[in-house]
Structure 1
Amino acid sequence: MICVSCGKTIDDDSRFCAECGARQPELNVPDALAKEDAPALSEAADPVPEAEEKPAPKEPGPAAPYDPATAYGASEKENAGSIMAAYAPDYSSSQQPYGTQGGYSPADDDGFAPSDYNAQYGGIPYSPQPEPVPEPEPVPAEKAPSKVGAGKIILAGFVSVLAVAVLTLLSLALCVKLGVTGSLVRRRIEKMVPDNVLGADFDGESLSDNMYKGLGFDDITHGKADRFAFRDFMTKTNFLSFVGDKAAGYVDCIIGGSEQDPSVSVSEIIGFFEENSDVSEECFGYSLQTADYNTMRKNIEKENFCEDISVSGLSNSAGFGLQNISFIFSYITLGILLALTLVLLIWIVVVVDRRAKHITGAYGAIFFWSGIIVLVCAAAVSVGAALIYVITGWFEYYVTASVLLPFAAFAGITGLFEIILGLVFRKVRKSIRAKERRDRAVQKALAEN
């Protein structure tokens, strides 16, 4: 049988549903079945049934004509109808129909009373509860980056100027340390053209004419060697090698910090002419004698030539000790300049609150302008000195353009590297500014929408 309330299958003789407790309608048993079952029930109850009076048999009446087709079907239909009627539920008006609002409550039935135990211990049917999901932690809103004030920008600009000066000094000192050494100066002087050196203008006259008059070569040779013959004589000697050796000593003392005094003495000058006595005989047909060398020594001492070109004499003329210049190009000084440059670069980062746009802009300006200054110095030493020598013919510019060529090469490479590095920083700054403009445009568009 099926429950009229919840639809569950229950026993046929159950009055209440085991699932929902709803009362089931009673089955109306037909009278024919009740009468048939009554004797069996009475006999089972009373083992000794009383004698019943049997009715007298009725007299048979006239029989109806027999129809096999209808007789069998009629009996079957009657039996089927009686069986269905016996088991059909009786829905009375007193009971609420199945599925109506309000439903059937077992508490309304007098024959069913829920026990207190069920009310106390009968829990609500179990239903799985979802596990509590932890609430996400609140994400603080991103603060808009504060702008760098004008005072900080001005301070960063001042620090950038100091950084340019220090970085330029560091670059030039390093180039001098690498490009101006005794060995390089010696090789550069030996590669110079002797005729150009002797013919260069020195104090209004050529260098060879000044030497010719200072040594008194006309009197020593008794008029056999004029100034043109003297220039030819100096060209054929190892004049440049002698000068190169002495110049290398000066450079090692002034730039390299050597403790040896490289000053040229009178004896060294006289020794040079003694070594080239055979060349003098070849050029003007006269071999210098000992008396001639003594006369030459007196003339040199009278002119104070050796004292003037000595380290002490040059220091007196400059007003400070030339030996102290070596401290500028020492490795200790280079390390101090490098550390100071790094401190200034870090200071800029702190001043601008580590804003990439301002940092890259300041670094780009520092390296760019330092590279420009170093490159200008390299061009002035090499190209500028050479052009001035071509125009004026002065001895100093010819020596500068020739001897300091390695320094100019190192300075040019350093300057170009710093310029390229500065341009890279500027390129990065432009890309950062472009990204900021795009972000502002996107935020503005989102705000408008």
Structure 2
Amino acid sequence: MKCYKCGSELPDDAQFCTECGASLKDEEAHSVHIDDEPTSILPHLEEVIADNEEALSLTQEQAQLLEDEPTEILSTADTVVIPEAEPIPPAENVFDKPASFPKQEKAPEPPVNGAPDDLNDNSDTMKIPIQNEPYSSYNVHANQLAGKENRPQNGSFPPPPVYSAQQQAPVQPAPMPQSQPMPQSAPAPMPAQTESKPKAKAKVGGGRVFGASLVTIFTIIFLLLLSFLTAVKVGANGSIIRRRAEKLDADTTLTAQFDGKEMSKTLYDSLGFRTATKGAADEAGFKRFMLAADFREYAGEVAEGYLDYIIDGEDGDPSITAEDFVNDFIRGNKDAAVKEFDYELTEENYDLLQKNLEKDKFSDTMSVKEWSRKLHFDVNKVSYATSFITIGILGALFLLFLIWIAAIVRRRARFVTGFYGTIFTLVGLIVFLTGLIVIVGSAIGFTFTHNVCFYLTESLLLPFSVMLIAIGAAELIIGFCFRKTKKGLKKKERKAAAALASAQ
């Protein structure tokens, strides 16, 4: 059979239409319109929607009320007015601020009016669910404005609401749990650093200062010896003196004063040269003979022998006698004598020259043993003092005394620098002035006295004087640095004491 109202095919024993819900008991009272169109709900969809317009016009808030009394609202509602949606503002950056929604007031309940039978004839048997768009533009904008609180971590929107056919109201699914950011572990606190209080400096009493002063005296002595011996070993050895003797000015040497006379005349008288040559050689001729002879080279060789023996302890006794001088120098320059005197010396003349020198005590004057006897000291022992071993020992003792001074004053920087500054300054001044006196003093002495000794000292000991000046200057610089440091430390201590006094 067919429904008289919608034309749907129904079983013969059906009492209600499964499509439109019409009662089939009164089928005879209604005329059934049957056409050739295919039976379907689509041709009558508009009519069904028009009959159920009241239920379809319910708002979402009214639909939620259906959960409590759906039958009463659907059966008694007459008209429901859906308010127009407010314009949605343009989307803002959802990450800057949280979403804000306009506060919606609860819609008033619709008046309950009795509906005519022809419009509500199937309200007791059929309920039309509210068909909301599964994902309306309003929901899209609301989700966009939800902010960071409602946005999942993966950036997707929540699923659309699901409506229950029985409750006829949207059922919001349970919100997805948002992944909470892992709490960052706070860095481990730094251990509290306890301020270490500076240790109180040990006091240096008067006794320690006095003891350090005594040690300072010995330190000065050792440093003086070290400085002078080093200068002698380097600047006054035999080879250097020999080279310096060879560069002597021959005329200046022979005209220089010795025992109140010129050097050439003193030697001429001491040799008895006029008598030995039977009046052939006069004073002027002897001077020309000395200039022509190799007396500078001979003097250099003799000086080298003495210095090597005394300073370095080499060879045997270098002392020369009158015989040595006549045989080595006069006999060795006989050709120059023949040229100047026009006289050839004989063995008798050489013996006479030797005897004349002996009378003048030439051999004693040039004897090392005689020097030792007069000095009451073995000159040969000087070589032990000027050896490199002795110089090294003196250097080690000097450093030991410096360490000893620092230990006595408890390594207090102000006292240590003060004593060291005194040592180096005093020794450096003595050594520097000694070298300066050797050069400048001998030059001044020779200028005023014209003594040959000053000239020989100035010329032969020039390297030795330069070494003394260099060593003394270095020691003065070191002493100045120590004294400057001491002044700085003392000034710093005064400032610290003044700051402490003002703080208290």
TM bucket (normalised to shorter chain) is 0.5 to 0.7
Provide the C-alpha distance between the structure 2 equivalents of 1:177 and 1:155, rounded to a whole number of angstroms: 33
Determine the C-alpha separation between the residues in 2 that align with 1:140 and 1:244: 71
Q: 1:399 maps to which residue?
A: 456
Matches within 5 A, 1:239-258: 239-258=295-314
Between 227-236 and 367-376, report the one with greater CA deviation: 227-236
C-alpha contact (below 8 Å) 2:321/2:366 kept by paired residues = no
Equivalent positions of 1:352-367 (< 5 A) are 352-367=409-424
Q: What does residue 64 of structure 1 align with?
A: none
Letter in 2 for 1:277: K
2:271 maps to 1:215: yes
- SS of 1:256's partner is coil
| 1:280-335 alpha-carbon deviations (Å, 9 max, x no partner) | 22223322223212221232333331233121122223222110111111122212
In the TM superposition, structure 1's runs of 4+ consecutive aligned residues that sit over 6 Å from their partners are none
Structure 2 contact 202–410 (Cα < 8 Å) conserved: no
1:237 aligned to 2:293?
yes
Does 1:290 find its partner at 2:347? yes
2:443 and 2:271 map into 1 onto residues whose CA distance is 30
List gaps (5 residues or longer) in structure 2.
1-67, 69-77, 80-108, 115-188
Percent identity (aligned)? 37
1:87-117 deviation per Cα after TM superposition (whole angstroms, max 9, x unaligned):
xxxxxxxxxxxxxxxxxxxxxxxxxxxxxxx
Task: Read off the aligned partner of 1:172 and give its amino acid letter.
Answer: F
Which among 55, 58, 73 is matched to residue 111 of structure 2?
Answer: 73
Cα RMSD (Å): 2.8
CA deviation after TM superposition for structure 1 residue 138, in Å: 6.4
Q: Taking structure 1 as reference, are residues 307 and 72 closer, same or farther at Cα in structure 2, changes over 3 Å only?
A: closer
Counterparts of 1:300 and 1:149 in 2: how far apart (Å)?
Answer: 67
Q: Is the 8 A contact 2:423 2:479 kept in 1?
A: yes
Once the two structures are superposed, residues 1-37 of structure 1 have per-residue CA deviations (whole angstroms, 9 ceiling, x without a partner) of xxxxxxxxxxxxxxxxxxxxxxxxxxxxxxxx9xxxx
Radius of gyration: which is bigger? 2
> In structure 2, the residue corresponding to 1:436 is in which secondary structure?
helix
Residue 55 of structure 1 is matched in structure 2 by none
Deviation of 1:162 (Å): 2.0
2:132 alignment counterpart: none
> Structure 1 315/135 Cα, relative in aligned 2: closer, same or farther at 3 Å?
closer
Q: For residues 310 and 134 of structure 1, do their structure 2 counterparts lie closer, same or farther at Cα, with a shift above 3 Å needed?
A: closer
1:351 aligns with 2:408: yes
Aligned residues: 328
* Higher mean displacement: 407-416 or 269-278: 269-278
Pairing 1:326–2:383 present: yes
**What is the rounded CA distance, in whole Å, between the counterparts of 1:387 and 1:72 in structure 2?**
138
TM-score by length of structure 2 reads: 0.60
Distance 1:360 1:72, change over 3 A: closer
Separation (CA, whole Å) in 1 of partners of 2:388 and 2:191: 63
Q: Distance in 2 between matches of 1:322 and 1:167?
A: 23
Deviations, residues 228-266 of structure 1 (Å, cap 9, x unaligned) = 221121111101111110111000011111132211134
Structure with higher helix content: 1
Q: 2:234 aligns with which of 168, 173, 178?
A: 178
Structure 1: runs of 5 or more not aligned: 1-32, 34-67, 77-132
1:278–1:137 CA distance, 2 compared to 1 (3 A) = closer
Q: What secondary structure does 1:371 align onto?
A: helix
1:165 counterpart = 2:203: no
Give the SS at the match of 1:253. Answer: helix
- Cα-to-partner distance string for 1:338-362 (whole Å, 9 max, x where unaligned): 1211111011111111111111111
What is the rounded CA distance, in whole Å, between the counterparts of 1:407 and 1:441 in structure 2? 51
Following superposition of structure 1 onto structure 2, how do residues 44-63 of structure 1 map, counting pairs within 5 Å?
Answer: none
Structure 1 pair 233/440, CA: closer, same or farther in 2 (3 Å)?
A: same
Q: Report the alpha carbon displacement of residue 135 of structure 1 after superposing the two structures with TM.
A: 9.1
Q: Distance in 1 between matches of 2:447 and 2:295?
A: 23
Deviation at 1:134, TM superposition (A): 12
CA distance in 1, matches of 2:395, 2:366: 35
Q: Judge which range, 177-186 or 135-144, deviates more.
A: 135-144
Task: Please state if 1:309 is matched with 2:366.
Answer: yes
* Alignment partners' CA distance in 2, 1:202 and 1:319: 26
Larger relative CO (CA 8 A, sep 6+): 1 or 2? 1
Structure 2 residue 193 is the aligned partner of structure 1 residue 193: no
Q: Secondary structure at the match of 1:73?
A: coil
TM-score, scaled to structure 1:
0.67
2: CA distance, partners of 1:134 / 1:414: 56
Partner amino acid, structure 2, of 1:73:
P
Code of the residue aligned with 2:307 in structure 1: it is: V
- Measured against aligned partners, the alpha-carbon deviations of 1:365-412 in whole angstroms (never above 9, x if no partner) come to 111111101001101211112211221122222211111111111111
